[in-house]
Amino acid sequence: MTTAGDDTAHTTGPDPASGTQTDDGAANLAPSASSDALLAPEVPEAPEASEGSEGPRHLRPPRTAGDYARALLHRLRAQAPLAVVLAVVVLGFVRIGLQHWRDGTTILGAALVLAAVLRVALPDRTAGLLAVRPRRTDVLTYALFGTVVILLSLTITGGPLAVR
C-alpha cells in the first residue's frame, strides 16, 4: 500500500519468507548471492586422506610410553634444587621429632641458607620452584630467614623440648 505524498513504498501483508505480517516499510527482497557470501564465508575443506590410509593425517606421531617417561624425567630434573632443599628440611624435622629440637631447627635454617645459595648459583630456568620472586628478593628472603632461624636456634636455651 502506498500513501500519498510519500515516495517510499510501504508494504503490508504476509511476508512470504517468514510467514509473518510486515508493517515496517521495508521492501520484500530476495537475498542475493553477494549477501549470502557476507553471512557465511566459505570454509576450505580439509585435505582428503591419501589412498589406502585410514582417517586423517596427524601433524605428529602419537606419543609413546618413552615420550611420557622422558617428559616426566625432564620435569623432575627441573625441580631438583627444590628437592634437595626439601630433603634437608625433612632431615631437620626428623631431628626435631627425635627430641633434638636445637639441631633440627638449625638444620631448617641451613635449608633456607642452602636455598639462597642455590638461587644465586643457578639461572632462573634451572632454579625450578626456588625462583618465586625476582632473584634479589628470593636470595635476601631465604638468607635473612635462614640466618634468623639459625641464630634463634643457637641462642635459646632450655624449653619444653630440651633434653635433660
Q: How would you write the pLDDT of the chain (164 residues) with one tens digit per residue?
A: 555 555 555 555 565 665 555 555 555 555 555 555 555 556 556 555 555 556 566 677 778 888 888 888 888 888 899 999 999 999 999 999 998 889 999 999 999 999 999 999 999 888 888 998 999 999 999 999 999 999 999 988 765 555 55
For the entire predicted model, the pTM comes to 0.56
Place of cell 589406502: 52
Please give the grid coordinates belonging to residue 79.
625441580
Question: Would you state the pLDDT for residue 66?
Answer: 85
Question: Would you state the pLDDT for residue 46?
Answer: 56
Alpha-carbon distance of 59 to 109, in angstroms, equals: 51
Domain boundaries, the chain: 68-155
Q: In this structure, what are the phi and psi dihedrals at residue 22, rounded to the nearest 5 degrees?
A: -105, 140
